[in-house]
A and B are shown apart, each in its own frame.
Chain A
Amino acid sequence: MIYMNNRKKISLILLLIMVALGLAYSYLAPYNPDDFSSPPLLPPGGNHLLGTNNMGQDIFSALLAGFRITIGIALITSLLTTFIGTVMAVLSAFFRGLVDSFIMRLTEIFIIVPDIIVIMLFATFAGPKVWDVIVVMTFFSWSRITRIVRGKAMVIISQDTLQYTLLLKGGLANVGKKMWPHLYPAVVTIFIQQCGRAAVYESTLSFLGIGDPTLKSWGRTIKAAMDYEGIFWSNAYLWWLLPPLLCLIAFVLALALLTFDFEESGRPG
């Protein structure tokens, strides 16, 4: 296990608690977040810890659902993104030449096109399924990772062990296997950072009304609160808008603190 200072320990514990809340969501939630049988716009207290929204749905349950949905989507997206990004980077480093420059040009395109535009396109014309959202997010995130990991992979492949493997006509699988132990600390860090990005990404998309409207992610709850006309005219934003906002920030911040090193002189890549 790597050495961890207090800041990292606290972040890790916080994250584990959040994941646990997500896993235990169905046991913890007092109501079904879609159930609209309660009176609308109740202030916090009594049966409703955070009151109810304008549809008469329990906000606390929606907040809890966010732990499962937002974190779940973030984990899956990050896993896919990191996997694809790393594979592309290794391919780039292994074949070099044409393959390398092709992959690099490809990543350039993805970085230059403002993703929001293409995502809005996709989302309006394609179905609002959660998998579509995950695919779109992955589609637009892998290139960043490829660029970072490729730099590392290029260095690693020039090391002696890898050069011997190449000399012995080791194939892609062999080289990949030998590279992995050197590569994986960086990949794990990137995976964690990518979780945060994906969570932010998902809430941004939800906020724009993109994605499955039945899934109560934090972004979706934030959007519902913002869409309610009178949100700022009463104190409703205190228990409707702020809790999901703070949860999201806490999650992303914990991820960032877990990976940030003050001593490190530069991010990889």
Chain B
Amino acid sequence: MILGRNCILLVVLIILGFLLPRLIPGSPLSFSGEEINVLNLRLPEETFNRFRDYYVPEQPLVRQFAIYMSHLFNGDWGYSFRYGLPVKKIIMSRVSLTLFLSLTSIAISTIIAIPLGTFLALRRRGRGEKGILMLLLAVQTIPAFLLAIICRLFFAYNLGWFPAFGAYPPGMTPTDAGFAGHFILHAFLPVTVLVVSTVPPVAILTRNVVHKIKREPYVEAAYYFGIREKTIQIYYILLNSFPEIMGRLNIIFLYAIAGALFVEIIFSYPGMGTLMKAAVESRDYPLIQGIFLVTTIYSIAINFVFEVFSDKINPRLVT
């Protein structure tokens, strides 16, 4: 059921990814002879003709789509205009860094935020709790890209503690000695920014859900019966909060993926975000399409995992 829904979603999004670049005006694939075209000015005649043979822009859309799909099923994602390399190869060389950034930050922020939110909800109301909440709220309002700029300003430029751009020193390969250290050092600021911007929404969500469950009649009844505080907190409140937290967490994490793309651009971290920027700037259609496809699949995967997971642990929520 969940799988089916996500598959339909995937199909719709593939169609969307195919249509979007073709619907927006100014397309390099319109190729009508009259139009002044970015590509036929920039590319050598021979290369241009080869691209035209590959993308057959003069055919009707449906036919183009059929060709696109058959390429896709054969694992052929087309050739980048800008780099002249197979799109798949370019993306594969970049995607691991984006996966690393987003998954690391999602993991770290979950580990921090869920206990924090729970703690805030379970504690008796006091100044401390309110203060932390206000702080979270304040941090939440700062957009990730501003946070990235500020971090880069203070820690990379003013203090010089961390490198300001890249994923590793130029010219270094993963086999060199000390690569891991440099890699972590380079990833530290981007991951920190992502964690700082993901923790507040998750913590506030957790706090709100736990707080709501805490005031359910059955919890109050449990207190009334004099059941041990720890038992109530763990078995009555926490276990019942998890399904709802899980159910709403996936949206926050989907935003975290988009956030990772932004943060990459600011730190010039060579992942999908920076690749996207380069692709858009040079109007590299096949590459844009490939990136769209990969990030979409990634998002659907995250969504799917969460849906299955919250379905498993939540017998009440039958949809």
Contacts and interface: CB of A to CB of B under 8 A. Distances in A.
B9 interface: yes
Interface residues of B, number: 53
Interface string A175-199: 0000000000000000000001000
A112 B288 contact: no
B25 A112 contact: no
Interface string B271-284: 00100110011010
Contacts of B140: 256
A204 B143 contact: yes
Interface of B is mostly: helix
B21 A121 contact: yes
Interface in A11-39: none
Contacts of B130: 262
Contacts of A112: 9, 13, 254, 296, 299-300, 303
Contact of A111 (B16, B146, B251, B280): B251
B311 to A, nearest CB: 16
Interface in B246-283: 251, 254, 257-258, 261-262, 265, 273, 276-277, 280-281, 283
A125 B284 CA distance: 11
A155 B280 CA distance: 44
B27 A125 contact: yes
A252 B141 contact: yes
A212 interface: no
Nearest to A106: B12
A241 B143 CA distance: 15
A191 B257 CA distance: 25
B208 A265 contact: yes
Given A114-B258, A116-B276, A267-B208, 10 more contacts: A112-B303, A113-B299, A114-B299, A117-B295, A118-B20, A124-B281, A124-B283, A125-B26, A196-B141, A253-B141
Interface of A is mostly: helix
A126 interface: yes
Interface stretch (B44-52, B67-75, B186-194, B209-217): B209-217
Contact of B209 (A241, A260, A266): A266
Given A109-B13, A232-B153, A125 B276 contact: no
B150 to A, nearest CB: 8
A124 B296 CA distance: 20
Contacts of B265: 208
A117 B292 contact: yes
Contacts of A124: 280-281, 283
**Most chain A beta-carbon contacts within 10 A, residue among B8, B25, B133, B149:** B149
Interface in A228-248: 232, 237, 241, 245, 248
Nearest to B250: A111
Interface string B148-180: 011001000110000000000000000000000
Interface string B111-142: 00000000000000000001001000110111
B141 A113 contact: no
Contacts of A114: 254, 257-258, 261, 295-296, 299
B143 A203 contact: yes
B145 A121 contact: no
Interface of A: 105, 108-109, 111-118, 120-122, 124-126, 196, 200, 203-204, 207-208, 222, 226, 232, 237, 241, 245, 248-249, 252-253, 255-257, 260, 262, 264-267
B24 interface: yes
7 contacts: A111-B251, A112-B13, A120-B276, A125-B21, A204-B143, A232-B158, A264-B208
A126 B24 contact: yes
B87 interface: no
B215 A265 contact: yes
Contacts, number: 117
B202 interface: no
Interface in B1-31: 8-9, 12-13, 16, 20-21, 24-27
B157 A121 contact: no
Contact of B146 (A113, A248, A255, A256): A248
B141 A256 contact: yes
B237 interface: no
A196 B258 CA distance: 18
Top 8 closest A-B pairs, CB basis?
A265-B212, A125-B24, A232-B157, A200-B143, A114-B258, A252-B141, A266-B208, A120-B280
B291 A117 contact: yes
Contacts of A207: 145
A124 B211 CA distance: 45
Contact of B13 (A113, A248, A249, A267): A113
Contact of B261 (A117, A126, A237, A253): A117
Contacts of B13: 109, 112-113
A200 B147 CA distance: 12
A109 B138 CA distance: 30
Contacts of B299: 112-114
A85 to B, nearest CB: 15
A182 B283 CA distance: 48
Contacts of B146: 203, 222, 245, 248-249
Nearest to A250: B141
Contacts of A262: 130, 133
